[in-house]
């Protein structure tokens, strides 16, 4: 595995830690900015919306730039957003800061994942993506608890300063350790970049990813109240349970990366079916502590951990270029928004178990979206998956 892939994971870790930081410091930020808790919650929504909508636009603006300079430019934008957040004088400034960092984060994900395809051989790309996406999993496992700890000990502004320092370190590592590859083919041609989106199958593949992530986040977003108010755990136990959940995502992501290249559709099908079972089991037995923990960990193993297989499927259907990867990340972010937003509405009408049932429904629909691929495999009309675009540049060829 090229060293550069691990450095890309470090950059993703910095971005994800910044994304989740607000969730752990809501009361402190509300006091410091003279805002309400719901208003601080809107900062999370603004970050996600900026990722989903602004990320592809920023990627388009960088299409003519080679990958390494593009990543360094995104680090600079991300750093500026975090410095603005650390020095924010009011809620409006903080809102602008979160939008800036959200846009930069999404574009970074897309270009970084595309770079993984250039750095590695085709048969290694699933594993390379899993390594890079471990930055996301570790951001959940370590980034959020550590940033929350820094914010509680030294003030919420210190947490943003810490993210800024981490971004500088990641940028320096990228500058030194990532090779100066050429653009992926004709990625500077905007029309050619858009041409792939004329494929109806690509849109169905993107929807599958939205449903997979929506199913996972409809549950994850409400683990805290479900575990405390239904399962009977104390509030002190919840952080430890969430750490265990994060550890499960790291294990699951690594396992999925091993099989994502050769068994892409099978991995997605098994993951969705298992997640459907875990979500239904959690909904039915949430009042029992041990089953609740088992099902929660199961969701961690087969939920967001489908990312390597999802990305591999998207790249084979479309291409491995930055715009496709960034748009895919936007669909993933849409899954986060849909799962948390509709889950919250469902709680108001049907109680705390409702998000789990919503997740099960989304997983079931996700299985349906895989049926065309399964039918093609059964009839033998597509015995081999369409290859991902070959790596370009001498560094990619040698990796």
- Looking at residue 193, its pLDDT comes to 72
**What's the distance, CA 216 to chain centroid?**
11
d(CA 389, CA 316): 8
Closest residue by Cα to residue 325 from 125, 138, 179: 125
For 57-94, the pLDDT digits (tens) are 888 888 888 888 999 999 999 999 999 999 999 999 99
Is residue 381 predicted with pLDDT exceeding 80? Answer: no
- Looking at residue 248, its pLDDT comes to 92
Over residues 296-313, the mean pLDDT reads 92
DSSP code per residue over 211-226: HHHHHHHHHHTTHHHH
For 342-365, the pLDDT digits (tens) are 888 888 889 889 999 999 999 999
For 233-283, the pLDDT digits (tens) are 987 788 788 888 888 988 998 899 888 888 899 999 999 999 999 999 999
d(CA 268, CA 252): 12
What band does 388 get if pLDDT is binned at 50, 70 and 90? very low
- Looking at residue 392, its pLDDT comes to 36
- Looking at residue 148, its pLDDT comes to 75
Please give the structure tokens belonging to residue 333: 């972010």
Q: Specify the pTM.
A: 0.78
Q: How many residues in the chain?
A: 399
Q: Which residues contact 265 (CB under 8 A, 6 or more apart)?
A: 313, 370, 373, 374, 377
What band does 182 get if pLDDT is binned at 50, 70 and 90? low
What band does 183 get if pLDDT is binned at 50, 70 and 90? low
Is residue 310 predicted with pLDDT exceeding 50? Answer: yes
For 93-103, the pLDDT digits (tens) are 999 999 999 99
- Lookup result for tokens 């948390």: 340
Instruction: Flag the least confident range among 10-19, 282-291, 376-385.
Output: 376-385
Is residue 391 predicted with pLDDT exceeding 50? Answer: no
Is residue 180 predicted with pLDDT exceeding 60? Answer: yes
* Percent above pLDDT 90 for the chain: 39
d(CA 129, CA 260): 9
* Percent above pLDDT 70 for the chain: 92
Q: Please classify residue 244 by burial: count the beta carbons closer than 10 Å to its beta carbon, then call 0-12 exposed, 13-18 middle and 19+ buried.
A: middle
Domain boundaries defined on the chain = 3-398
384 DSSP assignment: S
For 103-131, the pLDDT digits (tens) are 999 899 888 888 887 888 877 877 888 88
What band does 393 get if pLDDT is binned at 50, 70 and 90? very low
Is residue 144 predicted with pLDDT exceeding 90? Answer: no
Instruction: Quote the mean pLDDT of the chain.
Output: 85
User: In CATH, what is the architecture of 3-398?
Assistant: Up-down Bundle (1.20)
Q: Which residues contact 157 (CB under 8 A, 6 or more apart)?
A: 32, 86, 87
Q: Could you count the other beta carbons within 10 Å of the beta carbon of residue 178?
A: 23
């Amino acid at each position: 595995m090229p060293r550069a892939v691990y450095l890309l994971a470090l950059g993703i870790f910095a971005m994800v830690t910044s994304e989740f930081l607000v969730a752990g410091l809501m009361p402190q930020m509300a006091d410091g900015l003279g805002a309400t808790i719901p208003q601080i919650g809107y900062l999370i929504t603004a970050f996600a919306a900026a990722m989903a909508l602004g990320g592809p636009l920023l990627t388009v603006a960088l299409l003519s730039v080679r990958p390494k300079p593009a990543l360094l430019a995104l680090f600079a934008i991300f750093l500026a957003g975090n410095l603005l957040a650390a020095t924010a004088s009011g809620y409006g400034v903080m809102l602008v800061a979160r939008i800036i960092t959200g846009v930069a984060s999404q574009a970074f994900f897309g270009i970084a994942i595309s770079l993984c395809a250039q750095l590695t051989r085709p048969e290694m790309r699933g594993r390379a993506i899993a390594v890079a996406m471990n930055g996301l999993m570790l951001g959940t496992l370590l980034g959020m608890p550590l940033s929350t700890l820094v914010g509680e000990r030294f003030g919420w502004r210190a947490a943003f300063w810490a993210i800024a320092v981490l971004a500088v370190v990641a940028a320096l590592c990228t500058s030194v350790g990532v090779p100066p590859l050429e653009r992926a083919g004709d990625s500077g041609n905007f029309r050619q970049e858009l041409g792939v989106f004329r494929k109806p199958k690509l849109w169905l593949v993107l929807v599958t990813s939205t449903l997979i992530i929506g199913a996972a986040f409809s549950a994850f977003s409400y683990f805290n109240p479900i575990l405390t108010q239904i399962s009977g755990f104390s509030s002190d136990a919840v952080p430890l349970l969430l750490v265990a959940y994060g550890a499960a995502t790291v294990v699951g992501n690594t396992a999925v990366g091993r099989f994502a290249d050769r068994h892409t559709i099978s991995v997605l099908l098994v993951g969705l079916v298992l997640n459907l079972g875990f979500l239904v089991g959690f909904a039915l037995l949430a009042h029992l502590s041990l089953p609740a923990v088992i099902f929660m960990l199961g969701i961690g193993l087969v939920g967001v951990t489908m990312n390597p297989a999802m990305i591999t499927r998207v790249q084979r259907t479309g291409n491995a270029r930055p715009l496709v990867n960034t748009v895919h990340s936007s669909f993933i972010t849409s899954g986060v928004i849909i799962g948390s937003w509709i889950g919250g509405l469902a709680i108001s009408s049907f109680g705390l178990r409702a998000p789990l049932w919503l997740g099960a429904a989304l997983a079931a629909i996700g299985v349906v979206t895989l049926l065309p691929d399964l039918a093609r495999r059964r009839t033998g009309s597509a015995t081999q998956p369409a290859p991902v675009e070959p790596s370009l540049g001498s560094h990619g060829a040698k990796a």
